[in-house]
Every structure is written in structure tokens, then in C-alpha cells.
Amino acid sequence: MRMTIVTALTVTAIAAGAVTATAAQAAPSQLRSLGATHIVTSTVSTPSAISGANYPATATCADTEQAVGGGVSIQTGFPPGVFAVIQSQPSIDGKSWVGSAATAQKIPSGRSLTVTTYAVCAPFGV
């Protein structure tokens, strides 16, 4: 009997920009196939952003799917550096992508902000 061992590599980004990798081995019978992907978005807009406030948005996949990737974008009338993405990561259960932005400096009132979080969703099959 011949058995093939497949090694999966999980890469985790750390806030400082360093990357760590963890290898895990699984027999082929334990692996699941990845189906076609699509993108789900969640957008939070505020007509008047407040200094020091956090603006979260969570994009959630369907019950039969997992978030296999994602990201966050910020649209604002401010110059670069006024707002910063402070979170862009999968949820603990893997069903969503969680993102948020915050002001990086004091801002004048009455300026708008839109935060969009993107989740790359894929169905999993046995």
C-alpha cells in the first residue's frame, strides 16, 4: 500500500511585517477541495469622521463557505496618512474577513470616510 503525505503551508502575517510559517501534514483523505471563489463586500460610511474613532466592517461568507482571503480599502477626501487600516484578518471561525480603519491624526469635523472590507469566499467540499 502506498500512502502520499501532503504538506500544507500556513503563513501568518504579524503586525510588524514579519512573517511566520507553520507546516502541517495531512493524508490525502483529510484534504478538502476548494471550489470556485467569489468576493463579498461590506461597507461602512460616515458623513463626519471623528478623530480617534475606529470604523469596522466585516464581510461574511455564506454558511457553506470559508473566507480564504480578503482585504480592506479606505475612501476619503483626506491626503494619504490621515486614516490607516488597523485590522485586516480572517474571523476566528474563518467565515468572515474583519477589517477596520482609524484616524492616524487629528482631523477637522465634517469630512467623510468609507471603509470597505472584502472577503474572498469559497465553498468547501469533501
- pLDDT tens, position by position, 12-21: 332 333 333 3
> Which among 53, 96, 56, 50 has a CA at the least distance from the CA of 74?
56
> Rounded to an integer, what distance in angstroms lies between the CA atom of residue 76 and that of residue 93?
31
- What CATH class does 32-125 carry? mainly beta
pTM: 0.67
- Which of the four pLDDT bands, split at 50, 70 and 90, describes residue 117? very high
- Which of the four pLDDT bands, split at 50, 70 and 90, describes residue 39? very high
120 vs 24, which has greater pLDDT? 120
Torsion angle of C-alpha atoms 120, 62, 90, 54, degrees rounded to 10: 100
Query: What is the pLDDT, as a whole number, of residue 23?
Result: 37
Query: What is the pLDDT, as a whole number, of residue 31?
Result: 44
